Chains A and B, each alone.
Chain A
């Protein structure tokens, strides 16, 4: 049993105070990071509720339902940001990455406090897989949103379509790592391979560069 709210407060207070002393892009990044952590907590509440309602139990809920809840929750602040502010592409990307990083950081903190950090290998694997997964999925979504906005096709079906893909990607990862063996090795490699692929795509198509007028 851990007290997630207390952990959040402990991490969030220094970050919150730092917002008073930083400006512009840094302030936005720190704020989005904090938001990512809060969303992680809210997702845990929703998953806990679903676990009781469906009767799946904690393990099955985290494998089968949590990816859907987490991806849905992560996309809300990004959509809010896109709809409320007319920002440049690099701001959209940095906001999305901060949300993902905040989410992954808080999730890893809770995991380590719950299960311990004695096994360094597993801690590193977790950091490289789950940590990267949350960043990669929302980063991919932000690239898709940027592309949709550029092509004047930022519509409800496109948003939901892209979100569904990120949900299934995350769910596939959770499924693969749910049992030890070859499948879990493939699962742990998935996020980092996707990160490399996205990085190549980004440079190949210059997706986040501003369009020259």
Chain B
């Protein structure tokens, strides 16, 4: 692991541990809705993933195994995030096949690209399934909380599709790989920047529980998109995406903490 990635990993871990301690304090002080408990568990899973990875890299730097246990922890994180959203929107029982199909296609394309890059087909398929569950719950939540207009939804999907297509193009023989990677990074970065601004504005203007819930959904959307960006990037883009992860963790914690008082 390079020094920059190590610093970013440690910074993210510290932020996650702060979030975890904050959530545990909420639980101990009696503000323990199921969403808070699940989110604490989800954060604990992700924290353990970082801890495992740091110890692994410290103790076995020369060893690169096909499968590391922290991947299991990440799956747990994805599923538990889905469980938080499932609880937050538990009154929504409808099943929208359009959403399911859309998410399945997007995740399947991502998984195919991950397999093409890494060759770790089993882990990538399981990761994809876990993310698909989370993404479906997130889509339901975003739609229910009316987080985005039709135009914004279109922009989000278009931005993500362009990013994926640019990545696919990089596999063709003779393709200008560096330029394609840069273009894909810029496209996703612009999409993410817009969502960051929207999330901050939603948090600042929030007055009711539903507003904080919306901000929480937007924060998780940033996590998913940044994660996708991470998985499809090499250095230095990987470290940039990884480093920016601490922002959505912070947004989601603020939204969860303030929202719990109003729930």
Contact = CB atoms under 8 A, between A and B. Distances in A.
A197 to B, nearest CB: 11
Interface residues of B, number: 35
A56 B65 contact: yes
Contacts of A99: none
Contacts of B45: 161, 164-165, 168
B67 to A, nearest CB: 7
A158 B37 CA distance: 11
Contacts of A153: 34, 38, 83, 87
Nearest to A72: B72
A144 B80 CA distance: 13
Interface stretch (B3-11, B50-58, B108-116, B245-253): B50-58
Contacts of B75: 160, 164
B65 A168 contact: no
B21 to A, nearest CB: 14
B29 to A, nearest CB: 12
Given A147-B37, A175-B59, A164 B73 contact: yes
Contacts of A67: 69
B105 interface: no
Nearest to B45: A165
B259 interface: no
Interface residues of A, number: 31
Contact of A68 (B63, B69, B79): B69
A81 interface: no
B43 to A, nearest CB: 11
A213 B119 CA distance: 54
A161 to B, nearest CB: 4
A162 interface: yes
Contacts of B51: 172
A165 B67 contact: no
Given A161-B41, A161-B80, A165-B76, A179 B87 contact: no
A54 interface: yes
Contacts of A183: 55, 59
A168 B52 contact: yes
Most buried by A among B37, B70, B76, B83: B76
B86 A168 contact: no
Interface string A53-93: 01010001000110110000000000000000000000000
Most buried by B among A144, A153, A179: A153
A68 B66 contact: no
A69 to B, nearest CB: 11
Contacts of A155: 83, 86
Most buried by B among A144, A160, A165: A165
Contacts of A165: 41, 44-45, 48, 73, 76
Interface of B: 28, 34, 37-38, 41-42, 44-45, 48-49, 51-52, 55-56, 59-60, 63, 65-70, 72-73, 75-77, 79-80, 82-83, 86-87, 133
Given A157-B80, A161-B79, A168-B73, 5 more contacts: A151-B34, A151-B37, A153-B38, A161-B76, A178-B60
